[in-house]
Amino acid sequence: MTHPAPPAADAPLPTLTVLGAPDVLRRIEGRREECVDAVRRAYLAHDAGESANPHSAFLRFPDRPSSRIISLPAYLGGETETAGIKWIASFPENTRHGLARASAILLLNDIETGYPYACVESSIISATRTAASAVLGAETLIGSRTAGAIGIVGSGLIAGHVTRFLTDLDWKADGYRVFDLRRENAERFAAGLAEHAPEGTDVRAVDTVEEAFRDCDLVVLTTVAGEPHLHDPALLAHNPVVLHLSLRDLAPELVLASQNFTDDIDHAVRERTSLHLTEQRVGHRDFIDGTLADLLRGRVARDPGRPAVFSPFGLGVLDLAIGRWAYEGAVADGAGTTVSDFFQNAAR
């Protein structure tokens, strides 16, 4: 049995580069097509077995039931060849104090030495990979970048990232219908969306969730719901594509009325997601038609005579794909702060 040679005595000591939110944003802005491509390649690598993606772990607090911190460790091989972990907190009460609900960091590790080489602000990475995954799923299920009208349910950060991707990727839509439990939030979101939408696009805040579904070819669910709140299969009677990004909005009745796709079945059918609740009701997973990789590789196809629901759990390999891409580009542009002596005891 052979062993790899030890590092040369004069090998450079590991360094750690820190990328903050401004560095990440500068890298992403104007390059959202590249983000979608990075996510596509990550999904295909994961499908080909070139990854390791353990289940995420949820840290919950007995006195803060709405708050949690999630760890997502992963390894992505192929052209990315990196490992790492995202540590993302969700504290909804933050919004009452003027802070964003989510905060996160991503650590990237060198797979030869194990040393972390980058620490990246990751609330933006997380939102970007979620939005890139969503628009990739929408394009794959619809077959184009065109929708008559698009419904938005939940007008927070993720909805903003999704609509920015739709705009930057030149999606054609006649209009948008925005619903939020707080009407003022829906109006504010609609006003911002109208500023960036092509002239003549009909952008409206609506009073009911039904209006965000009605006559919309594409519906984007980005709420913070912990339990299903949509129960009527009639919402899907016109066979839309639904991007179920918040994972817990749809009651089993709607899931069973649809074609269902996800990113990884074992990951998505857990933690009381709508898919998990449906499995508990019917005792099997046969209602899940496949994964996005199945669709991309042509192993399954959408039935246009049924509603299609894409419920991506959000794989850690996607954070690695976007994080590594952002890191390489930002460092090439001279961004970030490198700490040369962070691992001052590394030499042995």
- Indicate whether this model's pTM tops 0.95: no
* Residue 308 sits in the same domain as residue 189: yes
AA letter at 131: A
* Residue 252 sits in the same domain as residue 333: no
Q: Is the pLDDT of residue 6 over 80?
A: no
Q: Is the pLDDT of residue 7 over 60?
A: no
Is 58 part of any domain?
A: yes
Residue 4: predicted pLDDT: 45
Is 190 part of any domain?
A: yes
Nearest to 24 by CA among 346, 340, 335: 335
At residue 35, the 3 state secondary structure works out as helix
Residue 346: predicted pLDDT: 61
Q: Is the pLDDT of residue 48 over 60?
A: yes
Is 11 part of any domain?
A: no
Q: Pairing mode, if any, of strands 82-90 and 64-76? A: antiparallel
pLDDT in tens, 119-173: 999 999 999 999 999 999 999 999 999 999 999 999 999 999 999 999 999 999 9
Residue 36: predicted pLDDT: 98
Nearest to 316 by CA among 50, 34, 71: 71
Residue 11: predicted pLDDT: 64
Lowest mean pLDDT segment, chosen from 288-292, 320-324, 341-345:
341-345
Residue 44: predicted pLDDT: 96
* Residue 55 sits in the same domain as residue 169: no
Q: DSSP letter at 7?
A: P
* Residue 41 sits in the same domain as residue 73: yes
* Residue 27 sits in the same domain as residue 72: yes
Is 38 part of any domain?
A: yes
Distance CA 161, CA 167 (A): 10
Is 103 part of any domain?
A: yes
pLDDT in tens, 215-270: 999 999 999 888 999 999 999 999 999 999 999 999 999 999 999 999 999 999 99
* Residue 54 sits in the same domain as residue 21: yes
* Residue 269 sits in the same domain as residue 179: yes
DSSP string over 172-201: EEEEEEEE-SSHHHHHHHHHHHHHHSPTT-
Token pair in block for residue 335: 């961004």
Is 115 part of any domain?
A: yes
DSSP string over 88-99: EEE-GGGGGGT-
AA letter at 58: F
What is the mean pLDDT of the segment spanning 192-207?
A: 92
Helix (H) or strand (E) holding 24: helix 21-28
In this structure, what are the phi and psi dihedrals at residue 39, rounded to the nearest 5 degrees?
Answer: -70, -40
pLDDT band at 347 (very low <50, low <70, confident <90, very high): low
Is 10 part of any domain?
A: no
Assign residue 211 the CATH number of its domain.
3.40.50.720
Residue 10: predicted pLDDT: 61
What percentage of the chain carries pLDDT values higher than 90?
84
Q: Is the pLDDT of residue 2 over 50?
A: no
Name the residue range of residue 87's domain: 16-125+317-339
Assign residue 95 the CATH number of its domain.
3.30.1780.10
* Residue 260 sits in the same domain as residue 200: yes
Q: Is the pLDDT of residue 334 over 90?
A: yes
* Residue 110 sits in the same domain as residue 182: no
Distance CA 117, CA 339 (A): 10
Q: Is the pLDDT of residue 1 over 50?
A: no
Nearest to 91 by CA among 102, 79, 80: 102
Distance CA 119, CA 20 (A): 9
What is the number of structural domains in the chain?
2
* Residue 65 sits in the same domain as residue 86: yes
* Residue 324 sits in the same domain as residue 310: no
User: What is the rounded radius of gyration, in angstroms, for the C-alpha atoms of the chain?
Assistant: 21
Lowest mean pLDDT segment, chosen from 100-114, 196-210, 332-346:
332-346
